[in-house]
Chains A and B, each alone.
Chain A
Amino acid sequence: AQSVTQLDSQVPVFEEAPVELRCNYSSSVSVYLFWYVQYPNQGLQLLLKYLSGSTLVKGINGFEAEFNKSQTSFHLRKPSVHISDTAEYFCAVTSTGFQKLVFGTGTRLLVSP
């Protein structure tokens, strides 16, 4: 069975600063990894996904994530955040033989001026 740990429940940051949201997973099989974003009163939207190939994955809104198999991590980064990036971010994992998509508990990114 897979599991996902998002170590930070909340990350405050100033506008235009860089940010990293951490995600670690555990799985005994090959995985697919995802980052989703949830804005207030909305459903989750896909930011980016890692399926195979290059370990550096670029997504929408200037976000990127790096898959590190040895550290079982998939941290999300952005070099310069905007106020509009304030949202909840969820890391998720599923196995290549899909069953459930397992979500982390989420990290709230708070961007202030």
Chain B
Amino acid sequence: DAGVIQSPRHEVTEMGQEVTLRCKPISGHNSLFWYRQTMMRGLELLIYFNNNVPIDDSGMPEDRFSAKMPNASFSTLKIQPSEPRDSAVYFCASTLALGNSPLHFGNGTRLTVT
């Protein structure tokens, strides 16, 4: 089991550029989550999917953020255009089932927007 795989590990971009973060959940998991972690706000849930369908995107900060899950093995989080305040570590997590199953986190993507 390779775990949740995120790419890239680090991303440095200039303000205004489009950024795409990628996630491959654990095979067989049917729920996927995107979190953002900063020193100021801690861990924030951005959006989560169940069976590839977005269930709750109320944590997505602005229309500049969008997430897709075209199939059970892949998800993207896109920021367009990016801003310096988007700098954070973005985590993807998956779980077998909503409820009492624990989340399995990837190692995150550290995004720096200059």
Binds B, one of A21-29, A40-48, A69-77: A40-48
Across the A-B interface, how many residue pairs have beta carbons closer than 8 Å? 47
Q: Is B69's beta carbon under 8 Å from chain A? A: no
* Binary contact readout B85-114 vs A (1 if CB under 8 angstroms, 0 otherwise): 000000101000011101111111000000
* Binary contact readout A73-113 vs B (1 if CB under 8 angstroms, 0 otherwise): 00000000000000000100010111111011110000000
List 15 other contacts, CB 8 Å, given A46-B103, A49-B102, A94-B99: A32-B99, A32-B100, A42-B108, A43-B93, A43-B108, A44-B105, A46-B102, A51-B100, A98-B100, A99-B56, A100-B45, A100-B48, A101-B103, A103-B42, A105-B42
Q: Is A34's beta carbon under 8 Å from chain B? A: yes
Chain A residues within an 8 Å CB radius of B103 = 36, 44, 46, 101
Binding site for B on A (CB under 8 A): 32, 34, 36, 41-46, 49, 51, 90, 94, 96-101, 103-106
Sample of 15 A–B contacts (CB below 8 Å)? A32-B100, A41-B108, A42-B107, A43-B91, A43-B108, A44-B91, A44-B103, A45-B105, A46-B102, A46-B103, A94-B99, A96-B99, A96-B100, A97-B99, A106-B42
Please tell me which one of the listed residues B99, B102, B106 contacts residue A43 in the complex, with CB atoms under 8 A apart. B106
Binding site for A on B (CB under 8 A): 4, 33, 42-43, 45, 48, 56, 91, 93, 98-100, 102-108
- Give the Cβ gap from B50 to chain A, nearest Cβ, in Å: 10
- Smallest CB gap from B48: residue in A: A100
